[in-house]
Amino acid sequence: MTLQEINKAYNRIVGSLDSKELKNAFDSLQALIAGSREYSFQDKLNELQDTYKYMLRYRIEGAKDPMQEQIYNNLQASTYELADSVRQKALAIESPLSYYSRRRNISVQPPFTYEQIHNQLILEYEAGKHRECDAFNISIFSKIWVSGFLKQEEANEIRDMLLDEALPFITGCQIVSALFLGLQEVFDKEKALLLFDAASHPNEEIKVRALISILITLYTYRKRTALYPQIANRLAALAEVPGFTKALRTITLRFILARETEKITRKLQDEIIPEMMKLSPKISNKINLKDLTPEQLGEEMNPEWESFFADSNLGKKMEEFGELQQEGADVMHSTFIHLKNYPFFHELSNWLLPFTIEHSSFDNQFNQDNEAEKQMLDSMTLAAFMCNSDKYSLYFSMMQLPKEARKMMMHQFDSQASEMIQQNKEELISKRGKQDTIISQYIQDLYRFFKLYPGHLDFTDIFTLPLDFHNLEILRPYISDKESLTTIAEYYLRKNYFCDALTIFNQLAEIDPNSDILFQKIGYCKQMEGDLNGALDAYLHADLLNSESKWVIRRIAGCYRSLKQPEEALKYYRRYEALNPDNLSVQISIGHCHLELKDYNEALKCFFKVDYLDSKSHKAWRPIAWCSFLTGKYDQARNYYKKILDNQPNAQDFLNAGHTEWALQNIKGALAHYQQAVQIENINFSKFQEQFGQDIPDLLIAGIEETEVALMLDQLRYKIEGAL
């Protein structure tokens, strides 16, 4: 079998197991064993199939076995594991992936147990040999990362190393990252349980990294973790530690924020795409909706929702660069994206290494002449706004500078950056907490690894996954409280992830069905997802719960307009008008409703009122001019189009002015305006003709003979060609 065929067969097996179709999984597994010629696994497969057949026969005979569920779960878990083993064995020799390449390299090296490496590392560390310590840490990382299913003895040795306080905390961090990456390649219960040991570690850095790794592992294997009761038990024990739910919530928010990284890198923020007006293109163009910004379905959220943010850490978060940094956003990614080519980053494990001035890369760099460099590194260790990977990048890039330039830079750093870093340490950490800072930095380190590591394509990019931990069945008992769900939903909403927010708001609405604010937000999310009927239903429900919300009344009216029900929209705009009679936006929308209902005289009244109350903006000129034309007030239309053409006209204005002149029997004037309309469209006659064609019924009502229409268009063609 080719590598592609092996992976395809494996995915079929996992798909069948995820769907609890054991017979199909066994058949596909049989095909994988035969195709890859890994017959050493045949006996195990036969054993699993026999057990399953006995269980089915026992069930058919009507016997009740209290152990049946446990047996069934064990069968599923064992089949997953067997499929993993067969795949790994089949890929071991030829797969070019980093995981298998590193595995092959280690297999030809002298075999060392984890205990032997542990003892040797202690000796090197106590002797202050940084270079040797770093080399051993790389060995530990690699050995754990590419290991097969851990035997109990191996797991115990790794646990001893992880919990040994005589070792530097760097070692524990590297063990956690190696376990995490190994689990991303293949599930191993022993590795997962080791992560739970690490999540109870006294060192905060190790503990936080382990918790993040556990959550991603639970998400990756969400279909099979329930098969291992030890995992649920360890999770329950971990949840008893104070602050567990808060940590889950923070990690979830930070992964949501990580989705923003590319937008920040491109210096672009997501804009909420406003709902397109559901009016005909003709009316939309006639009155220049973009200029009018009529009251329909705008993008603004309800200002009343801000009450939640006023009482929470989300309250003052804005999209400006500095505010994003305070929020924990990855604002430095764009700065360091091209500074990952140093030899240090050729080693995979270094991408996830905590920043420390004890790393061998800094050996022999400090003496009495470069105290500033040492101070810089000391300060960088405390910097909360840079992840570990970027701190290494900054140091290596500065080391590339000439000595004098470096001195000057160090001086500037000493006088300015050091103060900023100290301030960040005091302010950012006090605001977000040490745990929050570690969470942000490790997630950013992971982001750089999965996006920038030269071999990153060999790994499944976790940042392309939703990572909605709050939706995992195994985690719901710990993060389904109202505060957590509300916080996560609001964060999704503020970051414009409306579908994710909607899922949670629907859950919250089941808990609190009398909250009009929740139904407002459900409506808003559905509207922004394009579900106007669903949005309208939610807004109407919110209006029933609270009929005093002007924002909801306007939303309902906007939905009705977009759904081509101007008569219903008009009722709600009138309701709003009673509450706020001089709101020009609503007056314009009322005028539009009358326009869509072909009640042009009433529309004119609204637009004249807007022009009177806001005479400086001239927003109402276009609708007044077009309604005047439609009602046969051609002189009035001419006067307004004259003012419009003197004030930054567009192609539609010249077209409409041409219609008006034609209705007044000024054929030459009409022709001149039509020619200008074509020219302003860069001689795109077909586009002009399309717009012109939409207006033919109105021209006929204005008294233009149908035979004259074709003649006018031909005259215009000759005029454009310069033949007339």
The two tokens of residue 707 are 């035979």
* pLDDT at residue 457, rounded to an integer: 95
Q: 557 near 589, Cβ under 8 Å?
A: yes
Q: What is the per-residue pLDDT across 462-487, written as a single tens digit (0 to 9) for each?
A: 999 999 999 999 999 999 999 999 99
| DSSP H helix total and E strand total for the chain | 39, 0
The two tokens of residue 541 are 């429900």
* pLDDT at residue 428, rounded to an integer: 45
Q: What is the per-residue pLDDT across 476-535, written as a single tens digit (0 to 9) for each?
A: 999 999 999 999 999 999 999 999 999 999 999 999 999 999 999 999 999 999 999 999
CB atoms near residue 346 (< 10 Å): 11
Q: What is the per-residue pLDDT across 144-187, written as a single tens digit (0 to 9) for each?
A: 999 999 999 999 999 999 999 999 999 999 999 999 999 999 99
* pLDDT at residue 329, rounded to an integer: 77
Residue 273 has pLDDT above 90, yes or no: no
What rounded mean pLDDT belongs to the chain? 87
* pLDDT at residue 697, rounded to an integer: 93
- Identical fold for domains 265-331+478-631 and 632-724, yes or no, is yes
Burial of 654 (0-12, 13-18, 19+ CB in 10 A): buried
Domain ranges of the chain: 3-95, 100-241, 265-331+478-631, 332-464, 632-724
List, as own/partner pairs, every contact residues 242-250 make where C-beta atoms lie below 8 angstroms and the sequence separation is at least 24, other chains included.
243/435, 244/478, 245/478, 245/479, 245/481, 245/484, 247/208, 247/211, 247/435, 247/439, 248/215, 248/469, 248/470, 248/475, 248/478, 248/479, 248/484, 249/479, 249/484, 249/487, 249/488, 250/435, 250/436, 250/439
Closest to 455 in 3D by CA, of 343, 339, 347: 347
* pLDDT at residue 324, rounded to an integer: 66
Rounded Cα distance, 165 and 163, in Å: 6
* For range 324-329, the mean pLDDT: 70
| Alpha-carbon distances, residue 336 vs 26, 285, 347 (angstroms) | 48, 46, 18
* pLDDT at residue 271, rounded to an integer: 35
* pLDDT at residue 692, rounded to an integer: 93
* pLDDT at residue 685, rounded to an integer: 86
Residue 282 has pLDDT above 60, yes or no: no
* For range 246-251, the mean pLDDT: 95
* pLDDT at residue 446, rounded to an integer: 97
Residue 278 has pLDDT above 50, yes or no: no
Rounded Cα distance, 569 and 557, in Å: 4
- Percent of the chain exceeding pLDDT 90 equals 68
Q: What is the per-residue pLDDT across 100-159, written as a single tens digit (0 to 9) for each?
A: 999 999 988 888 899 999 999 999 999 989 899 999 999 999 999 999 999 999 999 999
Binned at pLDDT 50, 70 and 90, residue 274 comes out as very low
Residue 392 has pLDDT above 80, yes or no: yes
Q: Strand locations in 531-651, DSSP E?
A: none
Residue 321 has pLDDT above 70, yes or no: no
* pLDDT at residue 372, rounded to an integer: 64
Q: What letter does residue 122 receive in the DSSP assignment?
A: H
The greatest distance separating any two alpha carbons of the chain, rounded to the nearest whole angstrom, comes to: 102
* For range 402-406, the mean pLDDT: 74
* pLDDT at residue 276, rounded to an integer: 33
May I ask the CATH architecture of the domain 632-724? Alpha Horseshoe (1.25)
Residue 384 has pLDDT above 50, yes or no: yes
The one-letter amino acid code at 118 reads H
Higher pLDDT, 401 or 116: 116
Kindly state which CATH superfamily the domain 265-331+478-631 is placed in. Answer: Tetratricopeptide repeat domain (1.25.40.10)
Kindly report the length of the chain: 724
* pLDDT at residue 614, rounded to an integer: 82
Label residue 444 left, alpha or beta by phi (over 0 means left) and psi (-120 to 50 means alpha).
Answer: alpha
Residue 349 has pLDDT above 70, yes or no: yes
* pLDDT at residue 362, rounded to an integer: 81
Rounded Cα distance, 675 and 662, in Å: 13
Q: 385 near 153, Cβ under 8 Å?
A: no
Residue 429 has pLDDT above 80, yes or no: no
Q: What letter does residue 110 receive in the DSSP assignment?
A: P
* pLDDT at residue 647, rounded to an integer: 87
Q: 602 near 609, Cβ under 8 Å?
A: no
Q: What is the per-residue pLDDT across 570-623, written as a single tens digit (0 to 9) for each?
A: 999 999 999 988 788 898 999 999 999 999 999 999 999 988 888 787 888 999
- Percent of the chain exceeding pLDDT 70 equals 85
Residue 664 has pLDDT above 90, yes or no: yes
* For range 322-332, the mean pLDDT: 70
Cα 365 off chain centre by = 41
Q: What is the per-residue pLDDT across 30-64, written as a single tens digit (0 to 9) for each?
A: 999 999 999 999 999 999 999 999 999 988 887 77
Q: 167 near 205, Cβ under 8 Å?
A: no
Higher pLDDT, 256 or 432: 256
Q: What is the per-residue pLDDT across 63-90, written as a single tens digit (0 to 9) for each?
A: 777 788 899 999 999 999 999 999 999 9
* pLDDT at residue 76, rounded to an integer: 97
